[in-house]
Amino acid sequence: MMAFSIGANDVANSMSTAVGSRAITPRQAVMIAAILEFLGALMFGSHVVTTITKGIVKVEFMNDPREVLAGALAALVGSSMWILIATVWGMPVSTTHSIVGGMVGFGIANAGLHAINWNRMASIVISWVLSPVVGWLLAYTVFKIISYAILRKFHPAVAMKRSIPLIIFTTFFIVCLLFALKTVKAQFDRALGWSLLIAAAASVLGSILFRSIRTSGLDEYEYVEAVFKRLQIMTSCYVSFSHGANDVANAIGPVALVYWIISHGNVAQKVGVPVWLLALGGLGISTGALLLGARVMKTVGEEITQLNNSRGFCIDFSTASTVLFASVLGLPISTTHVVVGSVVGVGTARGMELVNVGVLKNILISWFATVPVSALVSAGFYLLMLQFI
């Protein structure tokens, strides 16, 4: 249920801008996302997860296997129910924050307020503010640069052809470095070297391929959008694959803990994850993306502001860059919040009147409701389960 909820909601992170800009259709988006999410989870999903999710509940209150078992199940129920409700409403919410809320509910119901690691909670609150603000600022800046350097030129197609090598190099460098650091967990020096090498090769090859795009029947702006369309599809596919690899732990972390307790009868901070459990998490995420992914995708990609391929590329590039910098610096950040912030950044770069403030207000309300609602449901379910264990 948790994996299904994550797939239904978080698929908007990867494919919403591609759909909103008409680079691909909603049907194509959910199919591509489902396949890539599953492959990412199966091929690169963590085989060792931190089961005491995000360190929210202090370790000294996590000793009784029966209570921890009930707490893990309660956290899953509380967070997945809230994510499903938000998905039905079309609201993009942070799945990580939902699980945090579930753990908070369990911790308080089990041992009171002193069971919660409030320093860790403070970093979560910081991420609520930091994520959308950084995403907004970077997307605003990137779109302004592309507008000045390409879109507003007298001959934008000529400016685009001159800029292609730099754009491709920068895009591949960011994507490869982020993948190496966040997904493969490579050392920084090694990741940097390989990323530079791959980006340089992609820049040369991509320049040749993109210059061969047929321009007959296209005006200069259509040519520019055709180039950005191809770049955007690539970045969207990467984000989807990376999400499956990185966020499957959100779905299977508490499940892995339940499996461990049932199998071994004790509590562990970190446990091994069998391949079949990774595959199960990937399958759940893919199924959620297929069945309900289009709802949140429509909100993020179409209802906040109008998108085309160049704007969509700015959003994807800014999201990947923000997540990369946050990973390198060790800053807490929510990808969902970064995506929404980036969409708003591109919208405000064109004019605040082009941003749907009503939709944005509803999204903000859903963000602030995430932790308390998940906590309340989790606490209630935990207290109910205690009657039967």
pLDDT score, position 52: 47
What band does 332 get if pLDDT is binned at 50, 70 and 90? low
Question: Residue 133 is part of which domain span?
Answer: 2-385
3-state secondary structure (DSSP) of residue 270: strand
Kindly state the average pLDDT of the residues 51-61. 63
Instruction: Give all strands (DSSP E) within 91-178, no chain letters.
Output: none
In the chain, the largest separation of any two C-alpha atoms, in whole Å, equals 73
What band does 333 get if pLDDT is binned at 50, 70 and 90? confident
| Residues 367 and 356: beta-carbon distance below 8 Å | no
Closest C-alpha to 194, from 180, 213, 205? 180
pLDDT score of 203 more than 70: yes
Kindly state the average pLDDT of the residues 344-370. 94
> Which tokens in the block code for residue 298?
């429509």
CA of residue 89 relative to chain centroid, distance: 19
What band does 299 get if pLDDT is binned at 50, 70 and 90? very high
How many other β-carbons are positioned within 10 Å of the β-carbon of residue 25? 11
What band does 280 get if pLDDT is binned at 50, 70 and 90? confident
| Residues 108 and 56: beta-carbon distance below 8 Å | no
pLDDT score of 38 more than 90: no
| Residues 235 and 313: beta-carbon distance below 8 Å | yes
pLDDT score, position 29: 86
HSE toward the beta carbon, residue 113, CA cutoff 13 A? 1
> Which tokens in the block code for residue 359?
């939709």
Higher pLDDT, 48 or 233: 233
| Residues 19 and 306: beta-carbon distance below 8 Å | no
What are residue 75's DSSP bridge partners?
A: none
Name the pTM for this structure. 0.86
| Residues 50 and 253: beta-carbon distance below 8 Å | yes
**Each residue's pLDDT tens digit, 239-262:** 777 777 766 666 677 777 777 777
pLDDT score, position 93: 92
Kindly state the average pLDDT of the residues 143-165. 90
Kindly state the average pLDDT of the residues 85-102. 89
What band does 346 get if pLDDT is binned at 50, 70 and 90? very high
CA distance 242 to 47: 15
Segment of 27-41, 163-177, 242-256 carrying the highest mean pLDDT: 163-177
Higher pLDDT, 347 or 3: 347
Indicate the range of 101-115, 178-192, 304-318, 342-356 predicted with least confidence.
178-192
Residue 12 phi/psi, 5-degree rounding, is -65, -30
> Which tokens in the block code for residue 243?
């999400």
Residue 57 phi/psi, 5-degree rounding, is -95, 130
- Segments in 147-274 forming alpha helices (H): 156-178, 188-211, 220-264
CA distance 361 to 193: 43
Radius of gyration of the chain (CA): 21
Q: How many domains does the chain have?
A: 1
CA distance 168 to 94: 30
